[in-house]
A and B are shown apart, each in its own frame.
Chain A
Amino acid sequence: MLIVVLLGFILAFAAPLLHRVAGKYTYVPMALAALAAFVYFCSCLPAILEGALITQTQAWVPSLAINLDFYLDGLSLLFALLISGFGTLIMVYAGGYLKGDPLLGRFYLYLMLFMVAMLGVVTAGNIFSLFVFWELTSLSSYMLIGFKHQKEESRNAALQALLITGGGGLALMAGLLLLGNASGSYSFTELLNRGEMVRAHALYLPALVLICIGAFTKSAQFPFHFWLPNAMAAPTPVSAYLHSATMVKAGIYLLARLTPVMGGTDVWQYTLMLVGGSTTVLGAFLAVQHTDLKAILAYTTISALGMLVTMTGIGSAPALEAMVVFLLAHALYKGTLFMVAGNVDHATGTREINKLQGLGKKMLPTALAGALAALSMAGVLPFFGFIGKELLYEAALEESTTRTAMFAVTFFSGLIFVAVALVVGYRIFWRKTGRQTPLEHGNTPLLYLPPLMLSGLGLLLGLIPAMLATPILRRAAEAMLGEEQVFELSLWHGFNMVLFISLLTLLLGYLLYRFTDRLHALVPRLSRIYRFGPGTLFYKAVKALPDAAGVLTRSIQTGYLRNYITIIILTLLGFLAYALIPNSPSLELADRLPLIMNIRVYEFVLILLIMAALYMLHNSKSRLTSIAILGIIGYSVAVFFILFGAPDIAATQLLIETLTVVLFVLVLHKLPSFHNLTSIQTKIKYIMVSLLFGGTMTYVLLLVKQFPLDSRLKEYFGQASYLQGQGRNIVNVILVDFRAMDTLGEITVLAVAAIGILALFKLQLDKEEKP
């Protein structure tokens, strides 16, 4: 499998080059590559059908225990065959659909990339590989939806799909990691056997919620469904491949894969049944309201995906059986119908069903494919879709607690499917009408052969299900159930309840079809409701984001220095409070009260001097006085340094203080005198902030001094400075010897400041240079 993936990647990136060489025949190597993958997976069939499990491991980041593992069982193989087989047809179809497109090479790059990534998702053997490939499918889907990048609609749709599925991907990553923690293993081989452990774990619920979000966004479940119809902006081969048959089923695959681990609990069942059921109904309901062929198909796809989720949620043996059968049937007919819609669009230039009439005779092969697929979709007797539909009904009726609701959901979507099938397979081709939609050009074999083959397969599987479909489907269902399963697919179940319901569905569906036009007339009245739909909300949220960012920026970035400083100070205080309040250390001031007595008179005088100076500084209106007072404070601090054994600092402080005062007087003497710029309220606010800050600093200082200081450095420098540094002044030795590089840095800073000052003095703006 590693070779398949690697060759696929290489071929994907070679596609633009191939296109330069092979031109319009680029589809040949691409289709052959997909076919090779299909054949490879077919060769795995015998082993898997015997119940074996194929795993491969490739060391990737062994130090983090992240490996490129592959895990192939019945479920994986079913998906892998679907992806590679369908991929082969789509590669051919795209060659016809985008013939002459100058960017065809790029298109094949994305398409091949997607196919490989999707194969990676379904064969991944651990959650890391799964996640990496999962994200790759989102990315390639983004590029494919936005392939017609000149159109704003395409770009928006692509971005929306990326945001939704990408956001879901993030949730998925978190969920998978939680799952890994809960089970103690990241590899499926072990993970899948630890269901009991995971379901009992405290992390089960959060993991389930996050994984469900990932799966629901990917598989377009309500309320994340809205990206899928918009994704129809992609070229039709993409819609047929990614957005009906494969990528949107990645979410289903994930849920199916994890069924043995996470399934079976009430929360799992009801979540999946509720979300899946509402998606089924909503998708079906919206499908009949649209007149764009691809939109109709997109909404029925959403409905079908909802049905698959519902069945996974029910989780009983018949439900899972129905799920895999319906999955395959749906992929076959929906892929075909998309290609049919694409052919019609290609030939006539429109997808509006009201403009399309009488195309049957001119597009006979396409019409035939459409008819076959539509019959399968409607669930008519010899087709594979019929078996799928029967099983869905059986599973819905067997479910005990929510039987009525499940049956209603299935029946409703069944009706709509019949009506839609009639529209797509019959109405646009064969309805008796006076005029015919003119064709711009006919369809080439490249366009009509792939849908014909797919729809033919739908018929073939229906006729002889036991031979072709049953074995692999059985293994796929077993992978979910985790036990051996008797699995019989047959076309004819006898005259029973389910058959009767099927016939009733067909009949009522036909009646519904007769009313399609009247339904469409009702649509404008409904549009008011959609203003509150999640699609609109998403659109509003995306628009609101920059606005909110603007408001936030303007409120934080006011352009006033004092506001920035206030915010910085308040943030610091907030963090300090956060760190200190839970521990609430008390200041044992009472114990230290006697220490206050330990004060010399001159020290007390110095403190008084500083206080008085600060008071005068505040009241001073003159700059020169202020400078002088500041000098007094600086000198007093310097005296403190002398008193407490720091003559070097004192010397520096005295020197610097003198220099500053001199600089002040020289440079600033020409500034105008003070005037009051701030209002009283603002002043009070700033005084509060300042007092709070000063108080906190005192508190922190007192608190720190309560604990003994463990200064091994003091001892070390005391020992070493003469013996190693040959100096008796320890501070000096530290500065010029032990930490000489720091001092060099300090000198550099001074030099930079000096250069800056020089530049400021030299700077002269010419009037001409002014903007």
Chain B
Amino acid sequence: MEVLLCFVVGILFSVGLYFILHRHFFKLILGLMLFGLATNLFIFVIGRLTRGGSPIIAETSEVALEPFADPVPQALLLTAIVIGFGIQAFAIVLIRRVHQSFGTTDLDDLDTTEKIETPEKPEFE
């Protein structure tokens, strides 16, 4: 299973990177999200997999009993997922905003500030 998951991670990385390399904003965001997923899985898999065995101490015991999953990568992942969400949210709003101002969804059109257009009606007020 672990071996197969390694390949899943690789495929996720490939597709994510391929999407990031696109010129379209939307694909860029999709790529970023896939890339984030791949990274999270990467960390998770590298910290070894344990079926079942959540890192939760049973009511009857004072210390965790083997087998339990390594809590350290999990703690890292939790932080990573939340921060990743922050970035995604910001990116989504940013490209919305860029599209509103520039009227384009092509990254290559963003090489100048001359094209900024002020929308007739502000949408978010």
A678's nearest neighbour on chain B, judged by CB, is: B23
Assembled-state Cα–Cα distance A763/B10 (Å)? 40
Assembled-state Cα–Cα distance A23/B77 (Å)? 73
Chain B residues with Cβ under 8 A from A562's Cβ? 20-23, 107
Chain B residues with Cβ under 8 A from A704's Cβ? 46
A644 and B13 contacting across the interface, CB-CB below 8 Å:
no
A692's nearest neighbour on chain B, judged by CB, is: B14
Chain A residues with Cβ under 8 A from B48's Cβ? 705, 709
Chain A residues with Cβ under 8 A from B71's Cβ? 714, 717-718, 721, 730-731, 734
A614 within 8 A of B: yes
Assembled-state Cα–Cα distance A565/B49 (Å)? 31
Assembled-state Cα–Cα distance A753/B92 (Å)? 11
Q: Which of A116-124, A364-372, A735-743 contacts B (4 or more CB under 8 A)?
A: A735-743
Is the interface on chain B under 10, 10 to 19, 20 to 34, or 35 or more residues? 35 or more
Contact pick for A607, options B4, B37, B40, CB 8 Å:
B4
A627's nearest neighbour on chain B, judged by CB, is: B30
Given that A626-B26, A646-B54, A649-B44 are known contacts, is A734 also in contact with B85, CB under 8 Å in the complex? no
Cβ of B87 to closest chain A Cβ, rounded Å: 7
B122 and A764 contacting across the interface, CB-CB below 8 Å:
yes
A680 within 8 A of B: no
Task: For the complex, count residues of A whose C-beta is within 8 A of B.
Answer: 104
Interface residues of A in 705-748 (CB under 8 A from B): 705, 709, 711, 713-714, 717-719, 721-723, 728-731, 734-735, 739, 742-743, 746
Contact pick for B8, options A607, A652, A763, CB 8 Å:
A607
A599 and B1 contacting across the interface, CB-CB below 8 Å:
yes
Chain B residues with Cβ under 8 A from A617's Cβ? 15, 30
A495 within 8 A of B: no
B13 and A697 contacting across the interface, CB-CB below 8 Å:
yes
Cβ of B110 to closest chain A Cβ, rounded Å: 9
A761 and B93 contacting across the interface, CB-CB below 8 Å:
yes
A62 within 8 A of B: no
Chain B residues with Cβ under 8 A from A743's Cβ? 79
Cβ of B54 to closest chain A Cβ, rounded Å: 5
A274 within 8 A of B: no
Chain A residues with Cβ under 8 A from B22's Cβ? 562, 677-678
Cβ of A695 to closest chain B Cβ, rounded Å: 6
Cβ of A571 to closest chain B Cβ, rounded Å: 14
Chain B residues with Cβ under 8 A from A701's Cβ? 6, 9-10, 42, 45-46
Chain B residues with Cβ under 8 A from A598's Cβ? 1
Q: Which of A229-237, A281-289, A385-393, A659-667 contacts B (4 or more CB under 8 A)?
A: A659-667
The interface residues of chain B, by DSSP majority, are classed as helix
B11 and A611 contacting across the interface, CB-CB below 8 Å:
yes
A757 and B90 contacting across the interface, CB-CB below 8 Å:
yes
Interface string of B87-125 (1 = CB under 8 A from A): 111101111110101000111100101001010001010
Cβ of B7 to closest chain A Cβ, rounded Å: 6
B53 and A735 contacting across the interface, CB-CB below 8 Å:
no
Interchain Cβ contacts within 8 Å, total number? 279
Cβ of A514 to closest chain B Cβ, rounded Å: 70
Assembled-state Cα–Cα distance A721/B81 (Å)? 23
Q: Which of A170-178, A334-342, A632-640 contacts B (4 or more CB under 8 A)?
A: A632-640
Cβ of B97 to closest chain A Cβ, rounded Å: 5
Interface string of A625-657 (1 = CB under 8 A from B): 010001001100100110111111100110010
Interface string of B56-83 (1 = CB under 8 A from A): 1111001110001111101101110111
Contact pick for A765, options B2, B46, B116, CB 8 Å:
B116
A705 and B2 contacting across the interface, CB-CB below 8 Å:
yes
Q: Which of A440-448, A517-525, A682-690 contacts B (4 or more CB under 8 A)?
A: A682-690
B65's nearest neighbour on chain A, judged by CB, is: A718
B6 and A702 contacting across the interface, CB-CB below 8 Å:
yes
Assembled-state Cα–Cα distance A540/B8 (Å)? 55
Assembled-state Cα–Cα distance A675/B25 (Å)? 11
What are 22 A-B contacts defined by CB distance under 8 Å?
A565-B20, A599-B4, A607-B4, A626-B30, A663-B89, A668-B26, A671-B105, A677-B23, A694-B14, A697-B42, A702-B6, A705-B45, A717-B71, A718-B68, A719-B63, A728-B57, A730-B71, A734-B72, A739-B75, A754-B86, A761-B93, A761-B124
- The 9 A-B pairs at the shortest CB distance, nearest first, are namely A694-B14, A698-B10, A645-B69, A718-B64, A753-B86, A690-B18, A730-B55, A730-B71, A694-B10
Q: Given known contacts A599-B1, A645-B55, what 19 new A-B pairs fall within 8 Å (CB)?
A: A630-B30, A645-B69, A649-B78, A660-B88, A668-B95, A677-B108, A686-B18, A705-B2, A705-B46, A709-B48, A714-B70, A717-B71, A718-B68, A719-B64, A728-B57, A729-B56, A735-B79, A753-B89, A770-B116
Interface residues of A (CB under 8 A from B): 559-562, 565-566, 569, 589, 592, 595-596, 598-600, 603, 607, 610-611, 614, 617-618, 623, 626, 630, 633-634, 637, 640-641, 643-649, 652-653, 656, 659-660, 663-664, 667-668, 670-672, 674-675, 677-678, 686-687, 689-691, 693-695, 697-699, 701-702, 704-705, 709, 711, 713-714, 717-719, 721-723, 728-731, 734-735, 739, 742-743, 746, 749-750, 752-754, 756-757, 760-767, 770-771
Interface residues of B (CB under 8 A from A): 1-15, 17-18, 20-30, 33-34, 37-38, 40-42, 44-59, 62-64, 68-72, 74-75, 77-79, 81-90, 92-97, 99, 101, 105-108, 111, 113, 116, 118, 122, 124
